Amino acid sequence: MIGVKKLIVQVNGRDLALTNLNKLYWPDDGLHKRDLINYYTGMAPYLLPHLRDRPFTLVRYPEGIAGEFFYQKECPEHAPDWVQRIPVSVDGGDKRINFVLCNDLPTLVWLANLGCVEVHTWASRIGNLENPDFAVFDLDPAPPATFQDALEVALLIRGVLAEFGLMGCPKTSGATGFHINVPLKPVYSFEQVRLAVQYVARLLVRVYPQRCTVERAVSKRQGKVYIDYLQNGRAKTMAFVYSLRPRPGAPVSTPVTWQEVENGLDPVSFNIRSVPKRVALLGDLYAPLREESSQELDAILKLC
Amino acid sequence: MFKTVIVFAGVMERPLIEKEGVERMRTIWKGAISFGLVNVPVKLYTATETNDIKFNFLHAKCKTPIKYEKRCPVCDVVVPAEEIVRGYEYEKGRYVVLDEADFAEIEIEQTRSVDIIDFVDLAEIDPIYYVKTYFLAPGDGGQKAYALLRQAMQDSGKIAIAKVVIRSKQHLAAVRVYQNCLVMETMYFPAEIRSPAVLPELDYEVKLSENELRMAVELIENLAAEFDPGKYTDDYRQALLAIIEAKIAGKEVEAVPARPEAGKVIDLMEALRASINRAHQEKGLQPEVADGSEGGMAAEANPNVRAARPDPEARPRRRRATGE
């Protein structure tokens, strides 16, 4: 295959032209575009149920992670006919954007071939587009606070959620941060979800101001873990579960168990090579987020 | 009663300088010893250190290190270093400000030299004069002159009395030979030494019998020994270290918030629970009781769910797990 510029493959009956497979994507790790496509192809059984019916934002790195990248919400014009699209108004106005829905393997492979290193989607699915089916706690340690500090805050958030009868699913961000996704019954507005997450975040800041902050000014976060509740918004997207990250070592945003969080973990160890083996062994730790949840936010919203 | 607690946060035993060589010591001053027409370039090092156990002051409630701030009470702001100047209070509430240039001016005139004034016998100097000891190491190109001065002082048995400026202050100093090194003892000026005549307790007379005096002298002679510094250790410090080590071993340690132990997480969890309960009370609500009846969670297949599942067992189990 060396030197082949273009490779026509058939994926589930769809013809796809894969291009520049030998282009270096992670130059320091010797990982090529074909490794990117291989990863998403192998992870498809775990990833697709999560992606189903969510407006997809393309984050494209046509020249690899060292090159320029761009966000693309509108489905590219040259997309094959069989790529599903959904017209959505991002700001609630008349203007609609045709988002891609990544509901099958050919679409996922096609997106990978476009250089989509990262997977970004909405927190809601068509049918309930205005009602997210999960809430996000996005924890970002600001130096000298460390990843370990983010884990500590994550454990406290787990405890607070349990107080309200809620269960959250932890995952690495693939970078320096940590995420907790809380599966929700899709009946709340983005605003309500944000309010609930904001309530928990402020509760933590009040009790543990030494380590927690909701301060928007980066300069004021120093040494603390920033609890970003604003990620809970309409059309907000962030690195999705099992998304590769454009960072050295090709890390993956990886679901972990709370036991692993308690024991401490190294986010770099979850990467393009290790995660496929890990999910083969452990299955999809994010299974609770695949199907519609019955978890409700009423207990928190009463206090907001 | 106490607003602060003190917690040990230092290294247990600070290695002595000899272990890793002199380069670990910081030159605090470079200059020259000058006497007559001879100039001996030297570098100054601190010769002694205080082995005090370092404690940090913490806020007793949350165990956070206390922050010290330089505040201006009039402007009500924290004053950054570059906005701090030195003022001399020449009469109550009135200051004349001296800036760095003013200090630098004086230093240029007298600095960078240990000016030897006289050579005297060491025994003539009462220890009350001594402040602090510095090593004088030969400076660049000064090895020969240094060796010459050292040998000459050794042979004559004399020590030098000198004046030196260190950190904007002129000191009286004694330069002498210690092992193979020239050392400088900074000294108080005579005007800085108080007279015991001011002590009212000493203003009395008493008649001593010869017998009593002879017995006291005999007692002293019985206890007379060679001075062996190795014999003397800091008992208080060692007792304190023993307590500290026992507390660390027994986990009776105050964790700094930066790296809380598992116990800290539980404490915080209690505080979070209390905060939630207060919020409920303020709203006139009953706290929610998790019923553990979440559906469709695939709990069996997913350790994630099990670990976080809010059933009534969850809390004690979590405590055990984090408390290990």
CATH of residue B146's domain is: 2.40.290.10
Q: Is the pLDDT of residue B197 over 80?
A: yes
Instruction: Name the residue type at position B15.
Output: P
- The SS3 of residue A143 is coil
Chain B CB contacts of A283 below 8 Å: 301-302
Do residues A108 and A223 share a domain? no
Across chain A, the runs of DSSP E, i.e. the strands, are: 6-11, 14-19, 24-26, 31-32, 55-60, 70-72, 85-88, 97-101, 116-121, 134-141, 169-172, 178-183, 212-213, 225-228, 238-239
Q: What mean pLDDT comes out for the span B191-207?
A: 89
Q: Is B270 on the interface with A (CB under 8 A)?
A: no
Shared domain for B218 and B285, answered yes or no, is yes
Structure tokens at B102: 């003013």
pLDDT at B20: 40
Structure token digits, residue B322: 């984090």
pLDDT at A253: 97
- Which residues of chain B does A160 touch, with a Cβ-Cβ cutoff of 8 Å? 272, 276
Residues B145 and B47 in one domain: yes
What is the rounded CA–CA span in Å between residue B56 and residue A145?
Answer: 20
**Is residue B86, in this structure, part of any structural domain at all?**
no
Q: Do B314 and A162 touch (CB under 8 A)?
A: yes
End-to-end C-alpha distance for chain B, whole angstroms:
33
| A203·B275 Cβ contact <8 A | yes
Q: Choose among A206, A259, A287: nearest Cβ to B302.
A: A287
Q: Which of A121-125, B294-298, B320-324 has the highest mean pLDDT?
A: A121-125
Q: Of A68, A106, A100, which is closest to residue A85 (Cα–Cα)?
A: A100
Rounded to the nearest integer, the mean pLDDT of chain B is: 75
Q: Do A155 and B265 touch (CB under 8 A)?
A: yes
Q: Write down the pLDDT at residue B263.
A: 60
Asked whether residue A266 is domain-assigned, the answer is yes
B167 shares a domain with B47: yes
Provide the pLDDT for residue B50.
83
User: Do both A295 and A199 map to the same domain?
Assistant: yes
Range of the domain at B163: 25-52+108-192
> Which of A108-117, A242-251, B26-35 is least confident?
B26-35
Q: What is the pLDDT of residue B295?
A: 39
Burial label for A127, CB within 10 Å (0-12, 13-18, 19+), is exposed
Residues A159, A77, single domain; the answer is no
In a domain, B74, yes or no: no
Domain CATH for A21: 3.90.920.10
B304 with A255: Cβ contact below 8 A = yes
Quick check: A226 pLDDT over 80?
yes
Torsion of CA A228, A232, A238, A239, to 10 degrees: 80
Residues B310 and B215 in one domain: yes
Residue A221 and residue A169 share a domain:
yes
- 3-class secondary structure for chain B? CCCEEEEECCCCCCCCHHHHCHHHCCCCEEEEEEECCEEEEEEEEECCCCCCCCEEEEECCCCCECCCCCEECCCCEECCHHHCCEEEEEECCEEEEECHHHHHHHHHHHCCEEEEEEEECHHHCCHHHEEEEEEEEECCCCHHHHHHHHHHHHHHCCEEEEEEEECCEEEEEEEEEECCEEEEEEECCHHHCCCHHHCHHHCCCCCCCHHHHHHHHHHHHHHCCCCCHHHCCCHHHHHHHHHHHHHHHCCCCCCCCCCCCHHHHHHHHHHHHHHHHHHHHHCCCCCCCCCCCCCCCCCCCCHHHHHHCCCCCHHHHHHHHHHC
- Give the residue from chain B lying closest to A298, CA to CA: B288
> Burial code of B312-324, b = ≥16 C-beta within 10 A, e = fewer?
eebeeebeeebee
What band does A255 get if pLDDT is binned at 50, 70 and 90? very high
> What residue of A is the nearest CA neighbor of B291?
A165
Does residue A245 fall inside a structural domain?
no
Query: Residue B290: which of A162, A168, A223 has the nearest Cβ?
Result: A162
B279 touches chain A (CB under 8 A): yes
Please tell me the predicted confidence (pLDDT) of residue B167: 72
Are A56 and A151 within one domain? no
Percent of chain A at pLDDT exceeding 70: 99
Confidence of residue B29 (pLDDT cuts 50, 70, 90): confident
What is the sign, positive or negative, of the torsion defined by CA atoms of B13, B19, B22, B23? negative
pLDDT per position as a tens digit, A176-192: 999 999 999 999 999 99
Residue B135 covered by a domain:
yes
Please judge whether B321 and A158 are an interchain contact, meaning their C-beta atoms are less than 8 angstroms apart.
no
Which comes out higher in pLDDT, residue B306 or A295? A295
Average pLDDT over residues B13-41: 66
B94 found inside a domain: no
Section B139-147 average pLDDT: 90
Q: Are residues B168 and B257 in the same domain?
A: no
> Which range among A171-180, A219-228, B243-252, B308-317 shows the weakest confidence by mean pLDDT?
B308-317
Burial of residue B25 (number of CB atoms within 10 Å: 0-12, 13-18, 19+) = middle
Residue A260: closest C-alpha in chain B: B304
In a domain, B103, yes or no: no
B319 close to A (CB below 8 A): no
Q: Is the minimum CB–CB distance between B280 and chain A shorter than 8 Å?
A: yes
Handedness of CA A50, A53, A59, A65 (dihedral sign): positive
Q: Residue B18 is encoded by which pair of tokens?
A: 């000899």
Query: Please, what is the angle between helix A147-163 and helix A190-207, to 10°?
Result: 110
Cβ-based contacts of B322 with chain A (< 8 Å): 155, 262
Among the three residues B158, B192, B226, which one is the final residue of a domain in this structure? B192
Of A67-81, A168-182, B142-156, B276-290, minimum mean pLDDT range: B276-290
The number of C-beta contacts closer than 8 angstroms across A and B is 118
Together in a domain, A59 and A113: yes
pLDDT at B107: 55
* pLDDT value for A102: 97
Whether A243 maps to a domain, the answer reads: no
Query: What pLDDT score does B233 carry?
Result: 78
A73 DSSP 8-state letter: -
What is the pLDDT at residue A108? 97
pLDDT confidence tier of residue B165, bands split at 50, 70 and 90: confident
pLDDT the model gives residue B318: 37
> Does A246 reside within a domain?
no
Residue B1, pLDDT score: 36
Q: Looking at the domain assignment, is residue B73 inside a domain?
A: no
Shortest alpha-carbon distance between residue B298 and chain A (Å): 7
Long-range contacts of A83-88 (CB under 8 A, 24+ apart): A83/A107, A83/A110, A86/A55, A86/A126, A88/A55, A88/A129
Q: Does the distance separating the beta carbons of B275 and A255 come in below 8 Å?
A: no
Based on the fold, state whether residues A289 and A153 are members of the same structural domain. Answer: yes
Q: pLDDT tens for residues B45-62? A: 999 888 888 888 998 888
Whether B135 shows a pLDDT value over 90: the answer reads yes
- Chain B residue numbers with beta carbons less than 8 Å from the beta carbon of A142 are none
Higher pLDDT, B270 or A60: A60
CB contact under 8 A, B303 and A257: yes
Q: Tell whether B140 is covered by a domain.
A: yes
Q: Is the pLDDT of residue A200 over 70?
A: yes
Instruction: Verify that A94 and A208 share a domain, yes or no.
Output: no
Q: Examine the pLDDT at B6 and tell me if it is beyond 50.
A: no
**Would you state the torsion angle of the CA atoms of residues A122, A127, A132, A134, taken in this order, to the nearest 10 degrees?**
-90
Q: Which two tokens stand for residue B279?
A: 């919020």
Considering CB atoms only, which of A159, A258, A287 is closest to B269? A159
Distance from CA of B163 to the nearest CA of A (A): 46
Query: Structurally, how many domains does chain B consist of?
Result: 2
Nearest to B268 among A156, A164, A255 (CB): A156
Residues A110 and A160 in one domain: no
pLDDT over 70 (residue B258): no
Using the 3D structure, point to which of B166, B192, B218 is the last residue of a domain: B192
Q: Is residue B122 located within the same domain as residue B230? A: no
For residue B211, what pLDDT band results from cuts at 50, 70 and 90? confident
Cis geometry, peptide bond prior to residue A80 (ω within 30 degrees of 0): no
In a domain, B324, yes or no: no
Domain membership flag for residue A80: yes
Domain co-membership, A47 together with A149: no
Same domain, B165 and B221: no
Tell me, yes or no, whether B172 and B228 share the same domain.
Answer: no
What's the ipTM? Answer: 0.81
Angle between helices B314-323 and A147-163 (to 10 degrees): 160
Inform me whether the C-beta atom of residue B265 falls under 8 Å from chain A C-beta atoms.
yes
B137 pLDDT band, cuts 50/70/90, is very high
Let me know whether B173 and B279 are in one domain.
Answer: no
Range of the domain at A46: 6-121
Q: Would you say A155 and A259 are in contact if contact means Cβ atoms under 8 Å apart? A: no
- pLDDT for residue B262 is more than 70: no
Is the same domain home to A157 and A113? no
CB-CB under 8 Å, A159 with B308: no
Write down the pLDDT at residue A4.
Answer: 59
Q: Are residues B47 and B153 in the same domain?
A: yes
Task: Tell me if B269 and A149 make a contact (CB, 8 A cut-off).
Answer: no
Q: Work out the pLDDT band at B223, boundaries 50, 70, 90.
A: confident
Q: Average the pLDDT over B216-238 and give the result.
A: 81
- What tokens appear for B289 in the block? 């009781």
pLDDT at residue A1, rounded to an integer: 46
Sort out which chain A residues have CB atoms less than 8 A from B294's CB and list them.
Answer: 165, 167, 293-295
Look at B305 and A259 and tell me if their CB atoms are within 8 Å. Answer: no
Q: Which residues of B touch A294 (CB under 8 A)?
A: 294-296
Within-domain flag for A140: yes
Quote the pTM value.
Answer: 0.55
Section B201-230 average pLDDT: 84
Q: In the prediction, which pLDDT does B178 show?
A: 94
For chain A, the residues whose C-beta falls within 8 A of a C-beta of chain B are: 148-149, 152, 155-156, 158-170, 203-204, 206-208, 210-211, 223, 255, 257-259, 262, 283, 285-288, 291-295, 299, 302-303
Statement to judge: residues A151 and A296 lie in one domain: yes
Q: How many domains does chain A have?
A: 2
